[in-house]
Structure 1
């Protein structure tokens, strides 16, 4: 059961990152929409993909190398980590309704039952964890961290003196940008869609507050970058991901352009 146990270690090692993601999400659906970007942190061993089924959806593990007939430690690790992550960041319990495993049934499955839960099905075409549709609407856990304890101060810096930090648009816009950044496609169109308004409406409202989208976006990213870097539990690559950069070097270049220091130099201060 080493793969299952190492999955718990992997889960604990990424807890801070996923708590930040939960804090930027309204529901589990929002959180899952970030999965394609999150799995880039797994490396080149494979990817977790979401598939739709009549009864619900599944998180499928697709390794780069085709799995053999025997029990796979990496598969156990990924599935155990995923089960823990799915159940840890929602306000309500998220339990699998079925677990598929691509290998043959081993002699002792007690560890698999304990760690993965749900009815176990072996010799399946792909290893996957199945869930009911309704869990997608479960609210996410929102935590108070050093990254968010000065949000009012940030709002005051982003908008003119005439704009209130308690302005509903300011609050909603900042939250929408934080949700869109980890997906890697944060644009005025995606943020407007997230907020349920048209691009033109959002542009007009920003103009009324003496700012524009690009100016606001860079301000949010710059401030969040500094706050993330103050949290030593987050690695540089995790921070780059949270801010929507494809790799640490792109983030480092942007951060140096903002303040003249690289992320590493900023942390050494």
Structure 2
């Protein structure tokens, strides 16, 4: 078993409360280790993994991580849950989750990517020997369970779920739970959903409350050590900032815990500017959005932070020498040609 010094990640103390509630519901004797984490604000990821393993050894039921997730309450996820509840749409809730996921687990980056009409939310590299199938299935199931039961997205459609560990005997349990194709032995653990799902509204959205909660969440993040590389974090910050119409350099620098001058100096050393980097991200996103036939050009322009569709069209023509409509028609023609050949 690896020593804690081999791994610096920690989890939110509320997850310990979740395991306590689950153990009580299953009639298990509360272990000394589980008792000890009840008063901790955070505790080591390796201890979290060991607690899950202990429960698994006692119960020996398939897909334990999914079963535990059935008992989650907003209090078990802390401030990140209440921020999500204050959002206006599913997309905003997922982007906020991306921004503050380290408050739940700070050991690896949460990567958000858009490709071919799908949004993929996945965990960055964690040494294989430090995780188990239960830790990964629980992390994904907690997020899905929260979306369905507290944000009331009963009809949310997931395209695929990926796990890095080998397939267990009862794959059907996972496919029934997530209601989609579930793949194992994949490069990373992630959940993949169609982009057009992001517009689903949240009934109880409250932007004023969200602003107050985010101030508190940023203060909590400041206490955690940085665990991702700056350039990767910058691209992710611009990507999520565009979705929330907060993509100017000042809020992006703040999210990276830097001053505007520090960020500009970093980019200058790479012979680029913030505007150039933002346009690169916009270009990447535009190409992915245009592949989704559900999105109109006006909707894509708004998603990219353009107030006018004409501004998006001018920028796209500079990038590709084609208008968005021409590019989209060209792609459809390629698909039709491939289908007929």
Between structures 1 and 2, the one with greater helix share: 2
**Higher RCO structure, 1 or 2 (CA under 8 Å, sep 6+):** 1
